[in-house]
A and B are shown apart, each in its own frame.
Chain A
């Protein structure tokens, strides 16, 4: 499916059938605990050099849904799985999510699967996936793809490091990782509202930086977002990709400020969770 020329790319689906609706996957009965692995594709017949992962939930409870999706390959049904790509999705209420192209390589001849970790227990989400292959390329240029994406920032929870500002328009530093254990060549900033309660309208601006405490140096500037009082969430929730060059052993931080827009705003209602998806 999808190969259409000597310089073309193909797009094919994994494990999802629009005739029968999307696939479904239920989170673990304990919060922030990995679900079982779900097979997405028995064996890829072309090497995938990129993919989109869609997930959604028809739910109107108004709760924040923090999702840590881990895509892996290997023997999914046999339990020998190598985690490859961490994806952090966050949304409030229901709706579909995804759509961004991840330039990750998935190998020919191995099963592809995913598992999910969430703050929501025993909830069933809809999922679907599309992957891209190189079609008829016979002499590919020096493409750059990712073999691994790792979540940085509070590995015990589905999203990230919680932060509440002490003052409006005050530049504050949020430590993401004190000592990164892999190089990062591409990164995405992921945010989510950290409380299941009523939010107020806020604008927020964040920068990504590296370096020792007090000596942080910005590597990505001016990532802007809003918290709004209608859907009680931060949008956009994923920002990137940012092309960087962060070596192993760096101290990774985010810093920035927020401003409330309406009378009666309290900074507790501007609190965020933040983490970084770092690829190499």
Chain B
């Protein structure tokens, strides 16, 4: 949304919801019966106009387990069986029916032609977990033509294998920073960065605050290029927040080594983190 947006009204719409006199419902996607397994894509709808940005809502609600878990959502365009991911590995962890961010304030840039099919799939560390999903759509981009971004979203730090559907586990120092590698060689430049994080597993949490900085450079020679971003956790609901931070304007070239350093003012617990690079 900044620095290269201009003011002006944009067109708004959505896919994935049913709104009429009898329904106020998102689309329910259920994760595969085998944990940490990709499923087929579920159709959300067709783009009502040329879409330049999406704002996903991932909402867990009635009928689902209230336990904590981790998952990843892929959003795609294109015909069935020919899906082309426009956003792969959107972090979708939750605690007590809460999916991720309390603040849904990030428009993810993309390009979807009017009339094109939009779909999504959900993989989870637990079996057969239903997730409510819809996408709010924005037409005119609001981005300044001279600085137009390509609309590519790359996810760094994703752990997507037979036992995990989450991000890189981040260790923190008690009173001192600990460096954690996110990606040794990023394959796209980054103009905006979004940090997504959450607990790494379903365990009891204590009350504490964290400070985290993003770094680049070779091992042992990392240098910070942001000051601190903050998040905290509290014990009663085993909840952490904020769970998304951004968009953060940066200028990180292709091939850079990306890491974060994290610290807490007290005894620490690990959390999982993904950095999304927008170019």
Contacts and interface: CB of A to CB of B under 8 A. Distances in A.
Interface of A: 1-2, 4-5, 7-13, 16, 18-22, 49-50, 52, 54, 56-60, 91, 93-101, 103, 126, 128, 130, 132, 134, 140-145, 168-170, 185-186, 188, 201, 203-205, 219-226, 228-231, 233, 235-245, 257-259, 261-262
B103 A100 contact: yes
Interface of B: 1-10, 12-14, 17, 19-26, 55, 57, 59-63, 66, 96-99, 101-107, 132, 134, 136, 138, 142, 144, 146-147, 175, 207, 209-211, 224-237, 239-251, 263, 265
Secondary structure at the A interface, as helix, strand, loop or mixed, is strand
Nearest to B96: A230
Nearest to B266: A21
B239 A2 contact: no
A58 B237 CA distance: 10
Contact of A257 (B19, B132, B225, B245): B19
B138 to A, nearest CB: 8
A222 B246 contact: no
B249 to A, nearest CB: 4
Residue among B20, B144, B230 with most chain A CB within 10 A: B230
B12 A221 contact: yes
A95 B59 CA distance: 19
A56 B232 contact: yes
Contact of B246 (A99, A201, A236, A261): A99
Given A126-B232, A238-B104, A97 B241 contact: yes
B63 A261 contact: yes
Nearest to A207: B12
B106 A100 contact: yes
Residue among B63, B106, B251 with most chain A CB within 10 A: B251
A97 B105 contact: no
